[in-house]
Structure 1
């Protein structure tokens, strides 16, 4: 639709110019083409900015709202929002920057927090530094550290990935439980409730994805642990007791029939939208996708995630996902892109408040809790003030260093996970994963090797 309108505008402008030039030929050299009030002899030209993002109900929707908001006040700017899968964005960005094929790249791109440090390492001169347009002291410290490298800030912090548990109260009640029974759970208690829900309603309590170990990531960060140590380079898989406990919980979820598997995003979403599962343990950003099922309005509630009862360090707070916006310095429109992003996602509280209402955004600004829509009850979730819960969780998330290779580590772990589920020794499996991931990450200075380079 937007492309069609643009084409019509170009045809109209062309026709006007042709007519104006013809008039110039009749009137003599003193006449000029005027395209904008107060401008003589100049053709007004729009600046076009392109944005890439994924998830139509959250990130892409936010980008389109920013486009509409900004274009109303800036008719000289045209913004195109392109929706792609996250993996496609990563691949195209990596390839395009390596080839310096800027004509095939956007001006603004959304990158997940797990992945940006590797881009900084490989393409340190490709991202625009933004300290001149943003006051980073106004953002949560953990988020600022994720968009920074060597003391310089490059990203516009977007959403918090605060992890929470969404659950179907109607199905929980059929199994004999109440809202208070879902508060401050351990994973062990979660499994007990899940068995009852499965028996009484036929629904699973959780969905897990064998190729995307989000649940394990949530458990790890709830205890302040990751696949690498605090320096982000030392592989911490073999001998990592928290990881071992998380894998054992993952296995028990499947063994006890509490969880079902989903292959990919579409199956994951279908599972809770169809009523196949009674809860979703994920980032707060999934709320907008849950709300797409209008027939389930009023059935859902929100609580904190379960913690790991076997791990004293684990808390009922964690993070999964979260992303930030980045501007490509060598694309050519970086100053215009800075103005647009600072005027919307960066510092515009009116616009951020709109996003809170439209997509349940949990902003990583320190003052976000004062936005009016944070205080608004959500009818879909039983009139709970869910954003207040999200914000409290975000403040309590244990900080970890994600390092450079989260998904490479998970690829190796997921390949061993099925053998663990089938009964293989966990310690031996983690030993094999450790060796493979060390090969991928490379030396301690942070020069990662690709999986294809491993013999």
Structure 2
């Protein structure tokens, strides 16, 4: 064998020995602001995998979901990695278009003990297998305008002691400042229906997938308090994520807002940046603990680079350095338990008047129940909101409204 042939053979053997994901370009589909998570990850990931290129395709939320739906249905133009909000995880799992990460070679179950329990439960399908990895969580909290409460002679304890004291506080705030307690009756309903849930109990469906709406005290009380707030004039008719919602924060019209801890970043950076120092955060009323939002990454079942894609998804979800970097960049609360012990958790937050609120949010995350998701959660939410509107604005009987909601959800779920 001459020298040239030997060199050619040696080169071929070396090439064969390289990892199969060398010189691969991964396409990652995401949306604002989750896309900044990917942007933060790229330089860190390149240090570990210099031969892997990350191509980020970012679309607005609705366009992102529509594009993924079309791509999964047609198996055309699929990304290698797809970012998902919690509200769409169940739907995409049910479509059958996501890779099962529980099985070999991924064996994602090895990561379970490292991830916040309730977010892990949200990544499971009806069969108990895992189809996505959580990258951030939204422990529920109550944001409130301390200056408005002070003017009305209302304390934080009035907001948190009970639902009755919360409503009473709203009446005082409205009388003294003109501000609404909540932007809309829907907001109050959303707080209550997430209260007092147990591990394994869904918001709208039981373990067998049957709706649990009619005759459920959780929904009856939620509707009752929402109607009381509307009748008392302490709930506005301001829809979340609307221009009016942002204006409500900017012009002292909304005194409290229950939401995921991530709302702090939204308030500080674009919803109401000029209101810094006026807001505070506290636990939800009556000792409730709930989850609002959360982000996940999944892999299409027909991705052409599954192994490489999983390495990147695992990096986003289980690499402490990346989780902390994303937390500092996006103010997205880390799903990785090890990242929740970072010293930045104890830093005072200027927007919240120097409050060390992250410590409270971290504790709240430990108490949030593990609530399974259902592919029809979004359908049920829309139906419930429609019935609530009929109750608070048209005087419909609460029990009748919930019975109609139950029947409608059952009908829609059978389709």
With structure 2 as the length reference, what TM-score do the two structures score?
0.84
Pick from 374, 380, 389: which aligns with 2:360?
389
Change (3 A) 1:72 1:275: farther
Change (3 A) 1:232 1:363: farther
Q: Quote the Cα distance in structure 1 between the aligned partners of 2:320 and 2:383.
A: 42
Pick from 98, 120, 123: which aligns with 1:147?
123
Residue 310 of structure 2 corresponds to which residue in structure 1? 338
Structure 2, unmatched stretches of 5+, are 1-13, 16-21
Residue 319 of structure 1 corresponds to which residue in structure 2? 291
Residue 423 of structure 1 corresponds to which residue in structure 2? 395
Local SS of the residue matching 2:297 = strand
What is the number of residues matched between the two proteins?
387
Pick from 251, 261, 275: which aligns with 1:284?
261
Residue 110 of structure 1 corresponds to which residue in structure 2? 83
Change (3 A) 1:355 1:227: closer
Instruction: Indicate if the aligned counterparts of 2:121 and 2:371 stay in contact, CA closer than 8 A.
Output: no
Give the 5 Å matches for 1:45-60: 47-56=24-33, 59-60=34-35
Return the offset for 1:75.
Answer: 4.6
Instruction: Indicate if the aligned counterparts of 2:101 and 2:129 stay in contact, CA closer than 8 A.
Output: no
Change (3 A) 1:242 1:181: closer
Give the 5 Å matches for 1:53-452: 53-56=30-33, 59-71=34-46, 74-101=49-76, 103=77, 105-123=78-96, 126=99, 128-129=101-102, 130-131=106-107, 135-149=111-125, 150-182=127-159, 184-208=160-184, 213=186, 215-224=188-197, 226-267=202-243, 268-292=245-269, 293-307=272-286, 315-343=287-315, 345-421=316-392, 422-442=394-414, 449=415
Q: Quote the Cα distance in structure 2 between the aligned partners of 1:318 and 1:156.
A: 20
CA deviation profile, 1:348-391 (whole Å, cap 9, x unmatched): 21222222323333222233332221122212212211111111
Instruction: Indicate if the aligned counterparts of 1:272 and 1:279 stay in contact, CA closer than 8 A.
Output: no
Q: Quote the Cα distance in structure 2 between the aligned partners of 1:132 and 1:419.
A: 45
Larger Rg belongs to: 1
Local SS of the residue matching 1:206 = coil
Q: Quote the Cα distance in structure 2 between the aligned partners of 1:400 and 1:111.
A: 17
Return the offset for 1:134.
Answer: 5.5
Q: Quote the Cα distance in structure 1 between the aligned partners of 2:23 and 2:187.
A: 42
CA deviation profile, 1:303-344 (whole Å, cap 9, x unmatched): 01113xxxxxxx32111222311122422222222222323x
Change (3 A) 1:80 1:241: same
Residue 452 of structure 1 corresponds to which residue in structure 2? none
With structure 1 as the length reference, what TM-score do the two structures score?
0.77
Q: Quote the Cα distance in structure 2 between the aligned partners of 1:232 and 1:148.
A: 15
Change (3 A) 1:230 1:298: same
Q: Quote the Cα distance in structure 1 between the aligned partners of 2:250 and 2:32.
A: 16
Instruction: Indicate if the aligned counterparts of 1:208 and 1:259 stay in contact, CA closer than 8 A.
Output: yes
Instruction: Indicate if the aligned counterparts of 1:168 and 1:279 stay in contact, CA closer than 8 A.
Output: yes
Return the offset for 1:283.
Answer: 1.0
Change (3 A) 1:257 1:69: farther
Q: Quote the Cα distance in structure 1 between the aligned partners of 2:40 and 2:281.
A: 26
Instruction: Indicate if the aligned counterparts of 2:184 and 2:235 stay in contact, CA closer than 8 A.
Output: yes
CA deviation profile, 1:142-185 (whole Å, cap 9, x unmatched): 22222123343231212222110011111211112344544x33
Instruction: Indicate if the aligned counterparts of 2:116 and 2:336 stay in contact, CA closer than 8 A.
Output: yes
Instruction: Indicate if the aligned counterparts of 2:196 and 2:289 stay in contact, CA closer than 8 A.
Output: no
Instruction: Indicate if the aligned counterparts of 2:86 and 2:296 stay in contact, CA closer than 8 A.
Output: yes
Instruction: Indicate if the aligned counterparts of 2:142 and 2:256 stay in contact, CA closer than 8 A.
Output: yes
Instruction: Indicate if the aligned counterparts of 2:114 and 2:338 stay in contact, CA closer than 8 A.
Output: yes
Instruction: Indicate if the aligned counterparts of 2:145 and 2:256 stay in contact, CA closer than 8 A.
Output: yes
Aligned-pair Cα RMSD in Å: 2.8
Structure 1, unmatched stretches of 5+, are 1-37, 40-44, 308-314, 443-448, 450-455
CA deviation profile, 1:110-162 (whole Å, cap 9, x unmatched): 22334323322321564555425952221123222221233432312122221
